Amino acid sequence: MSGLGIALLSAHTVVDELRHGQLASLNLQGLPILRKWFWLQLLDNFSSPAAQKVHDWIIAH
């Protein structure tokens, strides 16, 4: 995952990486961050049925 940038995710998804020092966690004040979010994908089809479900959920909410 090194060099891929900054991400906002649930801590439970990266427990092992945090424990082994592969990722760093920032404690930020003022959360939750309220912003507009965007869905980006390649021009071809979704990469998986799971990606389609995530897309559908984002659009619905």
What pLDDT is stored for residue 35 in this prediction? 67
Helix ranges, the chain (H):
15-19, 49-60
How far is Cα 58 from Cα 9, in angstroms, rounded to an integer? 15
pLDDT, tens digit, for every residue of 11-55?
788 899 899 998 888 777 776 667 676 777 777 666 677 777 877
Question: Domain residue spans in the chain?
Answer: 11-60
SS3 30: coil
> Are the CB atoms for 8 and 33 separated by under 8 Å?
yes
